[in-house]
């Protein structure tokens, strides 16, 4: 099954509104020339409105980095799905930094995924094992649990265009922000042998094969081709490199080449 590649840039806690207004036009100039790849930018909440205005008339999507699962209420500091949906098409859920620093669990990820889908957002659901888990040979067990619990109770089906309204991002925690990327072969094997079979057990083989799975973890323009040349990897969730226009454009160009 041919799945259209997608590359999303996760700006994390970088870029003020003023800085975003400088970076986005640089990104747009380079990205608009690249066809055959869906492109998404995920700035901090404070910059979403400014970035949305700068992306008007382009084919570049906008995503948030998180949301809360309630539509509204007395939840000081939180952002609801309907607030995100006013501005964005996508939302990152369950990033390892949210799990590590803010106590997110597979269960809270599940609640957020359900809320995002109900609001019409496309979740980018992050899964990945730590270095300790990897070295102990627990990668398969950890990922199976994260996918199963994170997506339980969800009725995931193909739409009329045979697309799935959800993406998985495989981000081995030991490769995020460390400069130590997993090999393309390793990541591809994990997707083929662990993530897609778990998706198939939950939703059937057709949905599993149609679901796009991204790789994330120290992706740069110089190593992106190693991942995009793999049969099971359908794009990337990019961190630090998405803050540099030439790097991010180079990664998207590599995705277009496949």
Where in the chain are the domains? 6-257
**Burial state string for 14-34 with b = 16 or more CB within 10 A and e = fewer than 16:** bbeeeebeebbeebbebbeeb
User: Average pLDDT in the 70-87 region?
Assistant: 98
| Active-site hit among 129, 171, 226, 247 | 171
User: Per-residue pLDDT averaged across 217-238, rounded?
Assistant: 96
Catalytic member of 95, 97, 104, 247: 95
Give this prediction's pTM: 0.96
pLDDT band, residue 122 (cuts 50/70/90): very high
How confident is the model at residue 161, as a pLDDT?
Answer: 83
Predicted local confidence at residue 50, as pLDDT = 98
**Whether residue 1 has pLDDT greater than 70:** no
Residue 107 annotated among the catalytic residues of the structure:
no
Residue 120 has pLDDT above 70, yes or no: yes
Least confident among 44-48, 89-93, 131-135, 203-207 = 131-135
pLDDT of residue 142: 98
pLDDT of residue 178: 74
Question: Architecture of 6-257 per CATH?
Answer: Alpha-Beta Barrel (3.20)
With beta carbons less than 8 A apart as the criterion, state whether 114 and 69 touch. yes
């Amino acid at each position: 099954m041919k799945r259209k590649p997608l590359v999303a840039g996760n700006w994390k806690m970088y870029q003020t509104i003023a800085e975003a207004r400088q970076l986005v036009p640089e990104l747009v100039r380079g990205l608009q020339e690249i066809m055959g790849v869906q492109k998404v930018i995920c700035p901090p909440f404070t910059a979403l409105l400014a970035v949305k205005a700068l992306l008007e008339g382009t084919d570049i999507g906008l995503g948030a980095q998180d949301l809360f699962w309630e539509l509204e209420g007395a939840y000081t500091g939180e952002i609801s799905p309907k607030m995100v949906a006013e501005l964005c098409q996508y939302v990152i859920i369950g990033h390892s930094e949210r799990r590590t620093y803010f106590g997110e669990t597979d269960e809270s990820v599940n609640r957020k995924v359900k809320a995002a889908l109900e609001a019409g957002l496309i979740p980018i659901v992050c899964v990945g094992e730590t270095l300790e888990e990897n070295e102990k040979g627990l990668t398969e067990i950890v990922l199976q649990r994260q996918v199963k619990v994170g997506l339980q109770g969800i009725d995931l089906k193909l739409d009329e265009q045979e697309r799935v309204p959800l993406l998985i991002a495989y981000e081995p925690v030991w490769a995020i922000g460390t400069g130590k990327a997993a090999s393309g072969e390793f990541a591809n094997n994990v997707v083929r042998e662990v993530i897609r079979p778990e998706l198939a057990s939950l939703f059937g083989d057709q949905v599993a094969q149609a679901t796009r799975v991204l790789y994330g973890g120290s992706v740069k323009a110089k190593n992106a081709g190693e991942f995009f040349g793999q049969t099971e990897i359908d794009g990337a969730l990019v961190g630090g490199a998405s803050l540099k226009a030439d790097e991010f454009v180079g990664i998207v160009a590599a995705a277009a080449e496949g």
